[in-house]
Amino acid sequence: MKTLSTKLQSSLQPKLILSYKPNMIFMAVIAAIGSSSSNLAWAEDQTTAITLPDVLVMGSGVKINAQGSLRDEIIKTESVDAKAIERSNASNITEALDKRPGISVQVECSVCNVRNISLNNMPGRFTTLLIDGIPLYSSVSSAYGLDSVNVQGIERIDVARGAGASLIAPEALSGTVNIVTKKPTKEEYVFKGQMGRFGDNRGDAYLAKPFDGGAVSLSLDYRTHDAVDGVGSNLSQYTGYERTLAGLGYFLDDVGGFKVRGRIDLVHEDRGGGALGNDYAAIKASLSGNPFNFSKGPHGSPDPNGWVAPDGISGTDTLSNGQNGVLYNGGAGGLSQIIFTERQQGT
């Protein structure tokens, strides 16, 4: 019995100790609550004594789809609206987009003045042009097509950059340029005319007419430019051309329950670089002789009648300075590029 009594006492001893500890914790909690209550009361007194200034929240006034902002579509798209295009005094798409951040218009041929829109510093052939979301030119024909798109009657130009644009057009590895046409909401008659050096003449017209159930618009563009020879070699450093554009846009609000919009575009352009002048038949027929002066300008030949071989010593002809070389004898047609463009398109 004694042994059992000892075991019971030892087993009860921890319980007595544990029953005392909660009392200490309880006292600590009570002390903390009391301290917090006094702090809250002090803070309450302080709050009533301080008057905070008024805060006025105002909107920025910037629309979500304002010019230069990003549109939330399949991929992030930057928009250039009609007012920005008008301020740039552009007559075609390349002029409207040139020198904008991250966009450059590159001249890829010094004879025919092919210009492409370069996005992300990639060649222009990887940029796809669209009108109202429909691809307008292939990656090859865009070389001569971008200059042939009038900016009259355009609501905005959407530029999508990066390989993500291939979701829209498979060949658009660097991005897309989508021209969104404007549906007329009021009658408009716009006529513009400009004249400049080297035969740079421009004429633009835009007519818009809304009617009950739809609208129609007509845009015309005529532009000429002479071939320019700045070094006296009888070879152009800027291509001469004559271009006529005509576009008809139509918008129908209800055709069997559908909204219909479309365009009919006509393009005619004669472009020639190399030999000066616009007598293209005579230039193409000139296949012998040398009407050019190859010694004019930087890095020109030492002989006005022909080329110098790259190493300076090869060639069967003797140049005027005594070197051996190869004299040109291919005529005006051999150093010229003549491009006739005819396009009829409906979307």
CB atoms within 10 A of CB 255: 10
Distances (CA, A) of 24 to 33, 38, 138, 207: 14, 22, 86, 92
- Closest to 249 (Cα-Cα) out of 137, 129, 133, 347: 347
The pLDDT tens digits of the residues spanning 176-191 come to: 888 888 888 899 998 9
Confidence at residue 30, expressed as pLDDT on a 0 to 100 scale: 53
Residue 132 in contact with residue 347, Cβ under 8 Å? yes
Give the separation between CA 287 and CA 176, rounded to whole angstroms: 41
Tell me the HSE value of 286 on the side-chain side, using a 13 A CA sphere. 20
Listed residue (151, 140, 60, 53) closest to 97, CA to CA: 151
Provide the 8-state DSSP code for 291: -
Could you state, in order of their start, the residue ranges of all structural domains in the chain? 70-181, 188-275+339-346
For the chain, how are helix, strand and coil distributed in percent, rounded to 5?
Answer: 25, 35, 40
**pLDDT for residue 29:** 52
Higher per-residue confidence, 265 vs 224: 224
Helix residue ranges per DSSP H, the chain = 2-49, 82-87, 93-97, 142-145, 280-285, 331-334
Domain 70-181: state its class. mainly beta
What the block records as the tokens of 251 is 């918008």
Residue bearing the bigger pLDDT, 77 or 219: 219
What is the residue-averaged pLDDT of the chain?
76
Q: Tell me if residue 213 falls in helix, strand or coil.
A: coil
Helix (H, G, I), strand (E, B), or coil: what is residue 244? strand
Q: Which two tokens stand for residue 281?
A: 């038949």
How far is the C-alpha of 256 from the C-alpha of 238, rounded, in Å? 51
Residue 322 and residue 172: Cα distance in Å, rounded?
52
Structure tokens at 256: 């069997």
Query: Token pair of 225, please?
Result: 């430019």
Mean pLDDT of the region 10-23: 44
Which region holds residue 43: left if phi is over 0, alpha if psi is between -120 and 50, else beta?
A: alpha
CB atoms within 10 A of CB 309: 15
pLDDT category of residue 59 using cuts at 50, 70 and 90: low
172, two tokens: 């658009």
114 touches 107 (CB < 8 A): yes
Least confidently predicted of 93-107, 248-262, 314-328: 93-107
| Tokens 């024909």 found at | 141
The pLDDT assigned to 62 comes to: 46
Higher pLDDT, 34 or 291: 291
Please state, as a whole number, how many other Cβ atoms lie within 10 Å of the Cβ of residue 68. Answer: 12
Q: What is the DSSP letter of 182?
A: P
Report in angstroms the alpha-carbon separations of 206 from 9, 80, 183, 187, 220.
109, 19, 13, 10, 6
Is the pLDDT confidence value at 4 over 70?
no
pLDDT tens-place string over residues 250-268? 999 999 999 998 888 888 8
Tokens of 57: 């929240």
Whole-angstrom distance, CA of residue 284 vs CA of residue 225: 20
